[in-house]
Amino acid sequence: LEFRRVLFRSFEFTDFPNGNCYNRQVPDGPLVNGVLTCNYTGKGGQYTPQNSYSVALDYKQSVFGDWLLLGSLMYNHRSHQLIHDNHDPNMDIPGVGRVDARLGIENRNWSFAFVGKNLTNEKILSYAGNVPLSSSMFGTNTFFAMVERPRQLALEAGYRF
């Protein structure tokens, strides 16, 4: 069993008095070039979970002749994080875990493997923002978001010269 990565962050803005406000946020920052701003001093950053870690189990065993059986199982976790570029609290997503795996055989020249990523098929948002003009033209608070890839399964073959 191998810990590949453990990360704990403590991040906050120390001096960010004139940030862009999210849709319908009450401005509390200074007026900059005729635009009211929002003060993010003391708040955490976007796209920065407080903690994340990966745990991996790697396996290697000689099976016959010069062939090796190789396996890897990995769990990746990250805690909740804010994915909106202007700190909209509606886009503070919960923590999530992903499971990836690889099982294969190889020798000096050949390798064959079955690879799976996001095996639990988690729906993970990675970025969100407001739809342009949704508030100013239509009076709505409409979002768009990017979703990470769903479950991926693949067969892999390789030849080394």
What CA–CA distance (Å, rounded) separates 23 from 159?
Answer: 54
H or E stretch covering 136: helix 134-138
* Per-residue confidence (pLDDT) for residue 23, from 0 to 100: 87
Q: Provide φ and ψ at 144, rounded to 5°.
A: -120, 155
Which range among 1-15, 60-74, 76-90, 134-148 shows the weakest confidence by mean pLDDT? 1-15
- State mean pLDDT over 124-131: 89
Higher pLDDT, 112 or 4: 112
* Per-residue confidence (pLDDT) for residue 2, from 0 to 100: 55
What CA–CA distance (Å, rounded) separates 40 from 101?
Answer: 40
What CA–CA distance (Å, rounded) separates 99 from 115?
Answer: 11
Residue 133 pLDDT > 90, yes or no? no
Tokens of 46: 């976007």
Higher pLDDT, 138 or 69: 69
